[in-house]
Amino acid sequence: MDEGSIRKESQNGSCSHIRDVLTEEQQPAKATVLQKDVGLFSGICLIVGTMIGSGIFISPKSVLLYSGAVGPCLVIWAACGVLATLGALCYAELGTMITKSGAEYSYLMAAYGPVVAYLFSWTTVMVLKPSAFAIITLSFAEYASTPFYHGCTPPVIVTKCLSAAAILLIVAVNCLSVKLASYVQNFFTAAKLFIILVIVVAGIVVLAQGKTENLSNAFDGTPLSVGAIGLAFYNGLFAYDGWNQLNFITEELKDPYRNLPLAIIIGIPLVSVCYVLVNIAYFSVMTPTELLQSPAVAVTFGDRVLYPLSWVVPLFVVFSTFGAANGSCFTAGRLAYVSGREGHMVKILSYISLKHYTPSPALIFNGMLAICYIIPADINTLINYFSFATWGFYGLAALALIVMRFTRKDLHRPVKVPIVIPGLIVLVSCYLVLAPIIDKPELEYLYCAIFIFSGLLLYYPLIHLKVKWARKIMRPITMHLQLLLEVVPPD
C-alpha cells in the first residue's frame, strides 16, 4: 500500500496504522504493548534515584532558613520523610487496586471521572513534568560546566546548551530501550548512594573527634510562625518529591502486587535516613550561618573534609542530577502515553515504537517541552508557584482512596492502609497548599490556577464534544508522524 492509498483511507475515516505499510517480515514478533521489564531492584532505584536529585547536595539550606535552628531543621527533614512514606503507602494501595500506569491520573479518573483526571494531565504533562525535567538538567549543566570556568560562573548560553544536550541524550536513551533506561537509572542511583555514604561517614568521623558544638543547644532560636513551618515543610518535601514515581509505570512493573509496595517500603525510608544523616554531617562541619551562606553545601563540605579529594563531590552531584533527570523523563513519558490512550491528549502520544516497545512520541514530546522551558531566564519562580498544584493533586489522590473505600468496595485491595493515613495526607495537603498562599499572597498563584482551569476551554470542544474539524486536522498529522517515528497504537 503506497502513501497515496493510505491518505485516501485516512480521509475515508479509518485509522491508518503503520502496520498497513509493513511487509510480513517487518511485523512485530510480540504484541505492541509496553513490556514488563522493571523488577523490584529497578523499581527501588527509580524511586530513590528520582527523589535524590540535586536538592540535598546544593540547597538543603532552604529548610534551615524557615525552621530557624538546627534542631527544628532536622525534625522537619525527618517529619517530611514520614509524610512521604505515609503518602506513598496510600499510593501502594491505589497502585495495587488500580494496576494502570499514570499514577494520579488513573486514580482520579476512577474516583472522580474524566474532568478532574484531565485537569491533572493537562497541568502535569504541559507544565510540571517538563519544567521539572528542565530544572534538573540545568542543575546538571551548571555543575558539569563549572570545572571548565574556574573562579567564575559558566556563561548562561553554555549551561543552557549543555542542558539541552542532556535532555536530547536522556530522551534518546529512553526511546531506545526500557531496559537501557533502567540500567542507566540503576547505575546513577548507586553513584549517588555512594557519595551520600562518603558524606555520612566523613560526618561521623568529625563528630567522633568531638566537634559537636553545632549540634549543642540545637533548639535555641526564635519561635516559628505557622507560615514559616509550612514553607519549611514545602522546601523539605520538594526534596522528597518523587515518592510516587513508580506508580507512573505500574503496567511495566513485574508482579506489581508484590514489587510496588515492597519498593515503596524499602526505597522511601532509605531516602529519609540518607537525608537526615547527610544534614547531621553538614552541621558537624558548618554552623547554621555558614550553611546558609554556602552556594553549594555539599561542595563546601567536601572542601573542608575531603580535601584533596574534594573534587569527587561535584562529580557525583553531576551523576545524581543526571540520574534524577533520567527518572523524571522515564515517568513523564508514561503519563503522556496514558493520557493519549484515554483520549485526553492527542492520540499520537499513546503510540508505541514497533522496534523498541517504548512510548517514543510521548517521550519526545516531553523532551521538546523541557527544551522550551530552559529558554526563559528563570523558570524556578514558575515552579515555586505551581508547586501548590502538586500537593493539591496529592491530596485529591489521597481523598480518592477514601472515596473509593465507599464507592468501589468491589475492587480487590492486596494492600489496605488504615483510613486515618489518607485522611492525614489530605489534611497535610490542604495545609501545604494554603499556608504559603495565606502567609504571602501573590497574584502569581491566581495566574497558575487560571492556567490549570483554562484546560477546560480545550476539554469541552475537543474531548467532550469531539468536534469533527479537530479530527480532520489531526488525521494527516498522526499518519505522517506514524510513518516518521514507526509507531503504532497499543494492542
Q: What is the pLDDT of residues 303-347, one digit of tens each?
A: 888 888 778 888 888 898 899 999 999 999 899 999 999 989 989
Q: Give the pLDDT confidence score for residue 351 in this predicted structure.
A: 92
62, burial (CB in 10 Å: exposed 0-12, middle 13-18, buried 19+): middle
Q: Give the pLDDT confidence score for residue 91 in this predicted structure.
A: 93
Q: Which cell goes with 23?
A: 511487509
Q: Is residue 6 part of a domain?
A: no
Q: Is residue 3 part of a domain?
A: no
CA-nearest of 259, 192, 244 to 36 is: 259
Q: Which cell goes with 7?
A: 491518505
Q: Give the pLDDT confidence score for residue 54 in this predicted structure.
A: 65
Q: Is residue 1 part of a domain?
A: no
Q: How many residues does the chain have?
A: 491
Measured distance CA(337)–CA(359) in Å, rounded:
6
Q: Coil, strand or helix: which one is 416?
A: coil
Structural domain count, the chain:
1
Neighbours of 439 (CB within 10 A): 14
Neighbours of 397 (CB within 10 A): 27
Q: Is residue 360 part of a domain?
A: yes
Q: By the 8 A CB rule, do 438 and 432 touch?
A: no
CA distances from 228 to 3, 232, 235, 240 (A): 62, 6, 11, 18
Q: By the 8 A CB rule, do 387 and 150 touch?
A: no
Q: Is residue 154 part of a domain?
A: yes
Q: Is residue 70 part of a domain?
A: yes
CA-nearest of 176, 460, 188, 191 to 333 is: 176
Q: Give the pLDDT confidence score for residue 431 in this predicted structure.
A: 82
User: Residues near 155 by Cβ (< 8 Å), separated by ≥ 6?
Assistant: 149
CA-nearest of 143, 181, 110 to 332 is: 181
User: Residues near 369 by Cβ (< 8 Å), separated by ≥ 6?
Assistant: 126, 130
Q: Give the pLDDT confidence score for residue 57 in this predicted structure.
A: 65
Q: Give the pLDDT confidence score for residue 6 in this predicted structure.
A: 41
Exposure of 412 in the CB half-sphere (CA atoms within 13 A): 4
Looking at residue 415, which CATH number applies to its domain?
A: 1.20.1740.10
Q: Give the pLDDT confidence score for residue 224 in this predicted structure.
A: 67
Q: Is residue 30 part of a domain?
A: no
Q: Give the pLDDT confidence score for residue 24 in this predicted structure.
A: 44
Q: Give the pLDDT confidence score for residue 132 in this predicted structure.
A: 87
Q: Give the pLDDT confidence score for residue 89 in this predicted structure.
A: 92
User: Residues near 41 by Cβ (< 8 Å), separated by ≥ 6?
Assistant: 186
Q: How far, in whole angstroms, is CA 247 from its chain's centroid?
A: 11
Name residues of the chain where pLDDT drops below 70: 1-31, 54-55, 57-62, 65-66, 68, 221-227, 377-384
Measured distance CA(241)–CA(129) in Å, rounded:
12
Q: Give the pLDDT confidence score for residue 290 in this predicted structure.
A: 82
Q: Is residue 13 part of a domain?
A: no
CA distances from 288 to 62, 68, 91, 285, 388 (A): 11, 9, 36, 10, 28
Name the pairing type of β-strands 487-488 and 352-353. antiparallel
Domain range for 424: 40-488
CA-nearest of 30, 6, 29 to 18 is: 6
Q: Which helix (H) or strand (E) holds 402?
A: helix 380-407
Provide the greatest CA pair distance for the chain: 81
